[in-house]
Amino acid sequence: MSRIAKRFADLQREGRKAFVSYVMAGDPDYDRSLAVLTGLPEAGVDVIELGLPFTDPMADGETIQLAGQRALASGQTLERTLEMVRDFRTRDEATPIVLMGYYNPIYSRGVARFLHEAKTAGIDGLIIVDLPPEEDEELCLPALEAGIDFIRLATPTTDDKRLPRVLENTSGFVYYVSITGITGAAAASAADVGPEVARIKASTDLPVVVGFGIRTPEVAREIAGVADGCVVGSAIVAEIGQGKPPEDVLAFVRSLAEGAHNA
């Protein structure tokens, strides 16, 4: 059983919802980023999404774009991101890590080489936002063969005709994007999200977690209450962007996690 599957099975047995956090690797620099990363499990994070910085993050809003720029300026690369995961794994063998980003850096490294290095480093899943299901042979199918989950995004515009194609090779969990547009663009609404989550769950046995537009413990609790969990990214990245020390960032993360776990 993969780390992701085990974590969701454990949460289901405990009757708890998942709290998933996103941070950008290398933001604002390697050491502070690693300090936040290694503190996330103790702060209540069940699954970590680790952003891979890229020069053209088309799905991301200003907050995460700036985080990527800070990371790149500090010298963060794909190699250093894998190194960060290896560092994390010396401390934590249980918490799932999902690498989230864009295909270009992976393509440049070579898919076979990347997948071997990612698996060896301790990456459990991938979210690659610019590879649609029609391109599954590029990375999705090789990743699954390598034992790495490939997590797909479903959105408010994923209709009943499109949904089966989106779910076809998805594993780990389904990430439902609660709003149309880029990250950090609007607030999520449980009233809008609930029916969409139910529609997706009618077509898959995978957990469905909801991200985009969640900024407070109250909203985390509301959204987790209608899904299998919630994802917070931009709100956490904004705390880092304000120059707050890792302990303050992790205190904020803890408040969000408590909100989701109290759903």
Per-residue pLDDT at 183 exceeds 60: no
Which residues form the domain of 222? 3-257
Tell me the per-residue pLDDT of 206-238, one tens digit each, with 9 for 90 and over: 999 999 989 999 999 999 999 999 999 999 999
Question: Of 232, 251, 241, 187, whose CA–CA distance to 63 is shortest?
Answer: 241
Catalytic residues: 49, 60
**pLDDT for 61:** 87
In-domain check, residue 150: yes
Residues 147 and 166: their CA atoms lie apart, in Å, by 19
Claim: this prediction has a pTM higher than 0.75: yes
Residue 263 included in any domain: no
For residue 52, pLDDT beyond 90: yes
On whether residue 262 sits in a domain, the answer given is no
Write the single-letter amino acid at 35: A
Number of domains forming the structure of the chain: 1
Residue 33 CA to residue 235 CA, distance in Å, equals 16
Q: Is 54 helix (H, G, I), strand (E, B) or coil?
A: coil
**Which of 48-57, 126-135, 176-185, 250-259 has the lowest average pLDDT?**
176-185
Q: Check residue 245 and give its pLDDT.
A: 98
Task: Quote the pLDDT of residue 181.
Answer: 53
pLDDT digit string, tens, across residues 112-124: 999 999 999 999 9
Mean pLDDT of the chain: 95
CATH number assigned to the domain comprising residue 196: 3.20.20.70
Residues 6+ apart with CB under 8 A from 85: 50, 97, 99, 118, 121, 122, 123
The rounded distance, in Å, linking the Cα atoms of 232 and 27 is 16
